[in-house]
A and B are shown apart, each in its own frame.
Chain A
Amino acid sequence: MTSRKKVLLKVIILGDSGVGKTSLMNQYVNRKFSNQYKATIGADFLTKEVMVDDRLVTMQVTTKRAQAWCQSKNNIPYFETSAKEAINVEQAFQTIARNALKQETEVELYNEFPEPIKLDRNDRAKTSAEACTC
Chain B
Amino acid sequence: MWVHPEEVLQASALWITERANPYFILQKRKGHGDGRGGLAGLLVGTLDVVLDSSARVAPYRILYQTPDSLIYWIIAHGCSRKEITEHWEWLEQNLLQTLSIFENENDITTFVKGKVQGIIAEYNKNHDVKEDDDTDKFKEAICTFRKLFGMPEEEKLVNYYSCSYWKGHVPRQGWLYLSINHICFYSYLLGKEAKLVIRWADITQLEKSATLLLPDAVKVSTRVAEHVFSVFLNINETFKLMEQLANIAMRQLLDNEGFEQDRSLPKLKRKTPKKVSALKRDLDARAKSERYRALFRLPKDEKLDGHTGCTLWTPFNKMHILGQMFVSTNYICFTSKEETLCSLIIPLREVTIVEKADSSNFLPSPVSISTKNRMTFLFANLKDRDFLVQRISDFLQQTTSKIYFERETTGSVNSSDDEVYSQQGSLLSSSPQRSSLGSEGSSEGERQFNLNDNSVPTATQALMTMYRRRSPEEFNPKLAKEFLKEQAWKNHITEYGQGVCMYRTEKTKDLVLKGIPENMRGELWLLFSGAINEMATHPGYYEDLVEKSMGKYNLATEEIERDLHRSLPEHPAFQNEMGIAALRRVLTAYAFRNPNIGYCQAMNIVTSVLLLYAKEEEAFWLLVALCERMLPDYYNTRVVGALVDQGVFEELAREYVPELYDCMQDLGVISTISLSWFLTLFLSVMPFESAVVVVDCFFYEGIKVIFQLALNVLHANIHQLLGAKDDGEAMTVLGRYLDSVTNKDSTLPPIPHLHSLLTDDGDPHPEVDIFKLVRSSYEKFGSIRADVIEQMRFKQRLRVIQTIEDTTKRNVVRTIVTETAFSIDELEELYVLFKEEHLTSCYWGGTGGSNPTERHDPSLPYLEQYRIDLEQFRGLFSLLFPWAPVNGAHADLLALRFFRLLDHNGDSLINFREFISGLSVLCHGDLTEKLKLLYKMHVIPEVTHEQEEPDSAFEATQYFFEDITPETSNGRPCPRQHARGYEIVCVVPMTLPHLPSQANLYVFLSLLQSQFIELCKTLYNMFSEDAQEQELYHATATVTSLLLEMGEVGKLFCHSKDQEDGPAQDGGTKPEGVFQQRGQGEGKEESQARPCGPAKRDGRGEQLSAMEEIRLEDSSPKDTGTSSSMLISDDETKDDTSMSSYSVLSGGSHELDDKLHCEDINDDTVLVRNGGLPHSTSIDKDWAITFEQFLASVLTEQALVLYFEKPVEVAARITNAKNVRKVGCSLLSASDYEISLSG
Residues of chain A whose beta carbon lies under 8 Å from any beta carbon of chain B: 8, 10, 17-18, 26, 30, 32, 34-39, 41-43, 45-47, 60, 65
Contact = CB atoms under 8 A, between A and B. Distances in A.
B562 A34 contact: no
Contacts of B1021: none
A47 B602 CA distance: 25
A30, A45, A60 pick with most chain B CB within 10 angstroms: A45
B735 A45 contact: yes
5 tightest Cβ-Cβ pairs between the two chains A and B: A36-B569, A41-B676, A42-B676, A42-B675, A39-B566
B273 interface: no
Contacts of B729: 47
A41 B605 contact: yes
Contact of A47 (B601, B605, B732, B754): B732
B559 to A, nearest CB: 7
Interface string B45-75: 0000000000000000000000000000000
Interface stretch (B711-719, B755-763, B1114-1122, B1145-1153): B755-763
Contact of A39 (B605, B728, B758): B605
B1186 interface: no
A30 B673 CA distance: 21
7 contacts: A18-B566, A37-B569, A38-B684, A38-B754, A39-B601, A41-B680, A45-B728
B726 interface: yes
Interface in B567-606: 567-570, 601-602, 604-605
A96 B1168 CA distance: 69
Contacts of A30: 758-760
A30 B757 CA distance: 10
Interface in B704-749: 726, 728-729, 731-732, 735
Given A17-B601, A34-B757, A41-B601, A47 B570 contact: no
A50 B813 CA distance: 42
B735 A18 contact: no
Nearest to A46: B759
Interface in B460-476: none
A38 B569 contact: yes
Given A30-B759, A37-B754, A42 B562 contact: no
Nearest to B728: A60
Nearest to B672: A43
B1080 to A, nearest CB: 42
Nearest to A26: B758
Contacts of B601: 17, 39, 41, 65
A32 B758 contact: yes
Give the interface size class of chain B.
20 to 34
Contacts of B684: 38, 41
A34 B754 contact: yes
Contact of B731 (A32, A39, A45): A45
Given A41-B605, A42-B676, A8 B566 contact: no
B563 A45 contact: no
Contact of B570 (A10, A32, A36): A36
Given A34-B754, A45-B728, A46-B759, A39 B563 contact: yes
Given A17-B559, A32-B758, A45-B735, A38 B728 contact: no
Interface in B876-911: none
B679 A47 contact: no
A60 B568 CA distance: 26
Contacts of B569: 35-38
A10 B728 contact: yes
A42 B602 CA distance: 9
B754 A36 contact: yes
B721 to A, nearest CB: 15
A18 B732 CA distance: 23
A45 B675 CA distance: 14
B602 A41 contact: yes
A39 B599 CA distance: 14
Contact of B562 (A10, A18, A35): A18
Given A35-B569, A45-B731, 4 more contacts: A38-B684, A39-B566, A41-B680, A65-B601
Contact of A38 (B562, B568, B726, B731): B568
B562 A17 contact: yes
B754 A18 contact: no
A42 B672 contact: yes
Contacts of B679: 41-42
Nearest to A45: B731
Contact of B604 (A26, A39, A43): A39
Contacts of A34: 754, 757-758
Nearest to B677: A42
Given A17-B559, A18-B566, A37-B569, A42 B673 contact: yes
A47 B760 CA distance: 11
A17 B676 CA distance: 16
Interface in B342-360: none
A8 B726 contact: yes
Contacts of B759: 30, 46
A46 B568 CA distance: 21
A37 B754 CA distance: 8
Contacts of A10: 728
B736 to A, nearest CB: 11
A39 B602 CA distance: 8
Contacts of B568: 38
Interface in B73-105: none
A131 to B, nearest CB: 14
Most chain A beta carbons < 10 A, residue from B559, B680, B731, B760: B731
Contacts of B605: 38-39, 41
Contacts of B735: 45
A130 to B, nearest CB: 15
Contacts of A37: 566, 569, 754
A79 B254 CA distance: 40
Contacts of B760: 30
B687 to A, nearest CB: 12
Contacts of B680: 41
A42 B679 CA distance: 9
A65 B672 CA distance: 12
A38 B758 contact: no
Contacts of B726: 8
Contacts of B758: 26, 30, 32, 34, 46
A47 B679 CA distance: 24
B675 A41 contact: yes
Nearest to B561: A18
Best-buried of A38, A43, A47 by chain B (most CB within 10 Å): A38
A26 B758 CA distance: 7
A41 B601 CA distance: 7
Nearest to A16: B562
Contacts of B604: 39
Contacts of B728: 10, 45, 47, 60
Nearest to B679: A41
Contacts of A43: 672-673, 675
Interface string B599-619: 001101100000000000000
A18 B567 CA distance: 12
Nearest to A58: B728
Contacts of A45: 728, 731-732, 735
A10 B668 CA distance: 15
A127 to B, nearest CB: 19
B409 to A, nearest CB: 39
Nearest to B760: A30
Contacts of B676: 41-42
Contacts of A39: 563, 566-567, 601-602, 604-605
Contacts of B757: 34
Contacts of A47: 728-729, 732
Contacts of B732: 45, 47
A42 B570 CA distance: 20
B144 to A, nearest CB: 48
Interface in B666-682: 672-673, 675-676, 679-680
A8 B679 CA distance: 30
